[in-house]
Amino acid sequence: MVASQWFARRASATGKVRYEQSFETASQVVDDRCNVGLLLALENCELLMAENSGGWSLHRNKLITASEYSSLMSSAGWGSDYPEPKVRKSLEAYPFVAHARSDTGQLWGYVSAFSDGAFSTMLGELVVHADARRLGIGRALLNMVEQEFHGVPVYVKPLGEAKHFFIACGYRQPATEMVVLYHRNGT
């Protein structure tokens, strides 16, 4: 059982940014392939982020309202009709949810994921508010997923030009084509 966990940004001997992940019982050094500067602490099962120069913070909890979720999705062009019961149901279903907030409390980013802990982690959504892009928020949220499910492959289904973001973060297309299929079940 881990009572506390933290990540500290460190410059390695090669100049590459690294994060040192420290636990009460063990220590592990993890390369940061997305070059995101984070100072994180895990206390009482909630991930918090210290102030940063970007004017935003990260949170590992599900304290998100339907109206702010709708506003975020609308800013990204994903529609705006997200009723409270459906948002709650989605948040409860995902074992991993994190979000970014501006210094004034506005929801600037959201990520959700689920994993079997062994063979695959699937990214649900990764969304950054249109007014908060290019601040490192998307990379920071993706890094949180990668840290949570360390050692387990992460799969994403990027829409449109979002694939360029994931490629810049070190993701690659498999040799065999993967297709996403869907079916609206009983709607």
pLDDT tens digits, residue range 132-177?
999 999 999 999 999 999 999 999 999 888 999 999 999 998 889 8
pLDDT at 180 (0 to 100): 81
17 pLDDT more than 50: no
CATH 1.10.220.150, domain 55-168, yes or no: no
Residue 178 Cα to chain centre, angstroms: 22
d(CA 126, CA 94) in angstroms, rounded, equals 13
d(CA 6, CA 17) in angstroms, rounded, equals 16
Q: Are 34 and 169 in contact (CB under 8 A)?
A: yes
- Written as one letter, the residue type at 20 is E
* The token pair that represents 62 in the structure block: 């599900």
Q: How confident is the model at residue 53 (pLDDT cuts 50, 70, 90)?
A: low
Domain boundaries along the sequence of the chain = 55-168
72 three-class SS: helix
73 three-class SS: helix
19 pLDDT more than 60: no
Residue 12 Cα to chain centre, angstroms: 24
Where is pLDDT greater, at 15 or 179?
179
Q: How confident is the model at residue 116 (pLDDT cuts 50, 70, 90)?
A: very high
